[in-house]
Amino acid sequence: MDSTHLVIAIDGPAGAGKSTVSKILSQKLGIRYLDTGAMYRAIGLRALREGVSTSDESGLVALVESSDISFGEGDPQPVFINGEDVTNLIRTPEVAQAASELSTHGQVRVAMVKRQQAMVAKGGVVLEGRDATTTIAPNATLKVYLTASLEERAKRRHLESKTKGMALDYISVRRDIEERDHRDITRDESPLTVAEDAHLLESAGLDPNGVADAIIALLG
């Protein structure tokens, strides 16, 4: 399979397994992995550090425009902002919350999408995010909407927090995901939705490799 121009776009709600599956696809197909969510988290980290409110749209846009976000090779994939390795720093609940809140602003998303589309234009990439198929890569070779029940997604995030030593309780994790779902679905700019030509894939009952293989099978 010639993956030079291949673009696989995966979106879906929080906790559906988009990141894990995308990383596996990247390895199996020999293409780049673009974690669009990590880009919002990087801005969220800067906002928290610099005291920029997640309700300050113009201030957040300024952060985006003054941020050089790049990725390295490895698992977990290294994430850099203005040369600083923030791979672990952007994976806290506080940063995730900030990223979710700032992503509701239209002008913030416009600024971020321009950067993401420039990366996608090079081809040979799998990207994931809550508007990957509808806004960032509407002309992707393959579009997948990956989903699972709220309970299933909360269980995964709860287990993930335990393995990282965060010890978050299940109820809090479930509530956080439910709130993020609501923000993603109801936001004015690029709300979470299923693209008309996207393949709906339920991840419950499948391990990440099984989901990745199912997606590869869709390539034909």
- AA letter at 11: D
What's the total number of domains in the chain?
1
CB 80 within 8 Å of CB 69:
yes
CA distances from 13 to 30, 113, 130, 181, 208 (A): 26, 18, 7, 6, 16
Tokens of residue 94, six digits: 């506080």
The tens digit of pLDDT for each residue in 107-159 reads 999 999 999 999 999 999 999 987 899 999 999 999 999 998 888 888 888 88
pLDDT of residue 56: 98
Which of 28-32, 73-77, 103-107, 216-220 has the least mean pLDDT? 73-77
Mean pLDDT of 69-95: 93
Domain assignment present for 14: yes
Q: What was the pLDDT predicted at 150?
A: 87
pTM given for the model:
0.82
Domain residues for 118?
7-210
Tens digit of each residue's pLDDT (9 = 90 or more) over 149-200: 888 888 888 887 777 777 678 898 899 899 988 888 887 777 888 899 999 9
CB atoms within 10 A of CB 84: 13
Identify the CATH number of the domain in which residue 98 sits: 3.40.50.300
* 3-class secondary structure, 124: coil
Is 216 part of any domain?
no
pLDDT for the residue 10: 96
215 within domain boundaries: no
Query: Looking at the domain assignment, is residue 167 inside a domain?
Result: yes
Q: Is 203 inside any structural domain?
A: yes
Radius of gyration of the chain (CA): 16
220 lies in some domain? no
Percent over 70 (pLDDT), the chain: 99
Residue 108 lies in a domain: yes
Query: Nearest Cα to 129, choosing from 41, 217, 218?
Result: 41
pLDDT category of residue 9 using cuts at 50, 70 and 90: very high
Asked if 64 contacts 81 with a C-beta cutoff of 8 angstroms, the reply is: no
**Termini Cα distance of the chain:** 10
Q: 218 lies in a domain?
A: no
Closest to 41 in 3D by CA, of 108, 120, 136, 107: 108
